[in-house]
Amino acid sequence: MTPTIGVFDSGFGGLTVLRALLARLPQAQFVFIGDTARLPYGSKSRRTIARYAAQSAQFLVREQGAQFLVIACNTASALALDAIQAAVPVPVLGVIEPGASAARSASRTGDVLVIATDATVQSHAYAAACQALGLRALEKACPLLVPLVEEGWTDHPVTAQVIRVYLDELLAEAAGAGLNPDTLVLGCTHYPLLRPLLEQAVPAGMRVIDSAEAAAEAVVRHFPMEKSEERPLTAQVVRCFATDSVEKFERLGSRFLELPVGKVELVDLGG
């Protein structure tokens, strides 16, 4: 049996979660939708985000036959996971709890740092999820990192310098608060593309946790299949939909997926 897994994001950053899933579940089929017409979710109310995300979730389940949903969007995971779970009759997994769990496994000091977008940090969803696991977490918004990734400057000296500035501020704040952090959580689906630069910038011994990979690991535990059917990674098993801006999705998406995204299909979810 070939399961169909639906992956949702407000944009296309969630393709990094899909990439991690493809590598781990080569026998599954995937349907991705980016609600690009209505991004950014970060500036919208919880109620609006819940309504928008539920529409995408229902599209994936009802029209595309998804039997499992991954909310590859930190804002929607932070603000609307309950509403999405209530809107569809299949299991729904967000990215925040898996990220916090992976940090719990990685950290020996119990103190972790989280970098994310402004909206995710303002929700304090990572801090709450970490605290529920006994960790102390310090969050920092890094608003320049998404535009730098989208500009393609993932290996640019400017980006290395911006990361240096943000991490220095965060480490100074952590020291001032008496924390001894040994783990950095990437709380944004764009950040895996900056992982090499981030690994170079963190203090020696600090672990870097990627929420996208942590979420993919959590999905794999739902599908304990044999690996006999393994086949080479290919975008053939992926269908991608977007609610607008198909051109930008097609242009930038393959950097996130590390595979051609092929033709992105436009879908209208209404207002």
We find the least distance from the C-beta atom of residue 178 to its own copies, in angstroms, to be: 27
**Cβ proximity of 193 and 256 under 8 Å:** yes
Neighbours of 62 (CB within 10 A): 11
We find the least distance from the C-beta atom of residue 158 to its own copies, in angstroms, to be: 5
Q: Choose which of 3, 26, 27, 37 interacts with its own copies (CB under 8 A).
A: 37
Q: Show contacts with its own copies in window 231-250 (CB under 8 A).
A: 244-245, 248
Of the two residues 77 and 117, which places its CB atom closer to its own copies in the complex? 117
We find the least distance from the C-beta atom of residue 230 to its own copies, in angstroms, to be: 38
Q: Cα(first)–Cα(last) distance of the chain, in Å?
A: 36
Of 175, 219, 236, nearest to 14 by C-alpha is 219
How many CA atoms are closer than 13 Å to the CA of 196, on its beta-carbon side? 8
Q: Choose which of 158, 172, 175, 177 interacts with its own copies (CB under 8 A).
A: 158
Q: Choose which of 23, 86, 132, 165 interacts with its own copies (CB under 8 A).
A: 165
> Beta 29-34 vs 264-266: how paired, if at all?
unpaired
We find the least distance from the C-beta atom of residue 148 to its own copies, in angstroms, to be: 7
Of the two residues 35 and 213, which places its CB atom closer to its own copies in the complex? 35
- The reply on whether position 47 binds its own copies by CB under 8 A is no
DSSP string covering 37-99: TS--GGGS-HHHHHHHHHHHHHIIIIIT--SEEEE--HHHHHHHHHHHHHHSSS-EE-SHHHH
**Cβ proximity of 57 and 37 under 8 Å:** no
Q: Is 188 a catalytic residue?
A: yes
Pattern 90-129, its own copies, x by CB under 8 A: ----------------------------------------
Size of the site for its own copies (CB under 8 A): 23
Interface residues with its own copies (CB under 8 A) are 36-37, 39-40, 43-44, 143-144, 146-148, 150-151, 153, 157-158, 161-162, 165, 244-245, 248, 271
Catalytic residues: 73, 188
